[in-house]
Amino acid sequence: MMLRLRRYLVAGLLVWLPLGVTILIFRILIGLMDRSLILLPQKYHPEVLLGVSIPGLGVILTILVLLLTGVLMANIVGRKFLGGWESLLGRIPIARSIYSASKNFAEIVFSDSGKAFKKVLLVEYPRKGIYSLAFQTASELGEVQGRTGEDVTCCFVPTTPNPTSGFIIIVPKADVIELDMTVDEAAKFIMSLGVVVPTWTKGQTAELPLKLPGEQP
């Protein structure tokens, strides 16, 4: 009887816990985007016009601001304005470093043309014999590759359950195993503490593991 009750309890948690986390995250994001309403004059705020605050209106305004900014930056005048703004920030020591790093990261992550965060890798980290999931961030490393004398790749090893933090490691390509799982599948695997394992069949790729199960070293 207790085993059955426990099974029902776990089944209920598996339904409501992901739903609750999803709702919580959306509430936080919507709350942050609703703050964009401060861009409007006070007399145009929803609580003034309608007499009641409507959650989510800031999302629409945020999307419109992003679209308008993208349209403006796509023409010559917008690019000149952006160049002047970046030149101004480049004269401020601390702001220059933060802005440059943030811009480079955003271009890498959101650009379709880049190779960063497009491949999921398996690397032996933090020591040989222990494997960790990693995302490839760069394969052309210039001086690092020249100094090491090896063909190396730069990997980001995320922490769990928060994959936005982690470690940058540089590994010889010969020691890296490229996986078939997508970046989304790898993120779910990491955030679920390894519970949500992506499905895979051996025939999915021509490359076999370095060592088959049961094989002696």
Render each residue's pLDDT in the chain as its tens digit; 217 residues: 788 888 888 878 777 877 887 888 888 888 888 777 777 787 777 777 777 777 777 788 888 888 888 888 777 777 787 788 788 878 888 878 887 777 766 766 666 555 677 889 999 999 999 999 999 988 888 898 889 888 999 999 998 877 778 899 999 999 999 999 988 899 888 888 888 888 887 665 555 555 544 454 4
Torsion of CA 104, 106, 109, 110, to 10 degrees: -130
Strand order in the sheet with 166-172: 166-172, 152-158, 131-138, 120-124, 177-178
Query: Cβ of 156: how many Cβ atoms within 10 Å?
Result: 19
pTM of the model: 0.54
202, 206, 200, 210: which is closest to 175 by C-alpha? 210
Q: Report how far residue 35's alpha carbon sits from residue 166's, in angstroms, rounded to the nearest whole number.
A: 30
Calculate the CA 194 to chain-centre distance.
Answer: 17
- Is 131 in a helix, a strand, or coil? strand
Decide: 201 and 188 in contact? Cβ < 8 Å: no
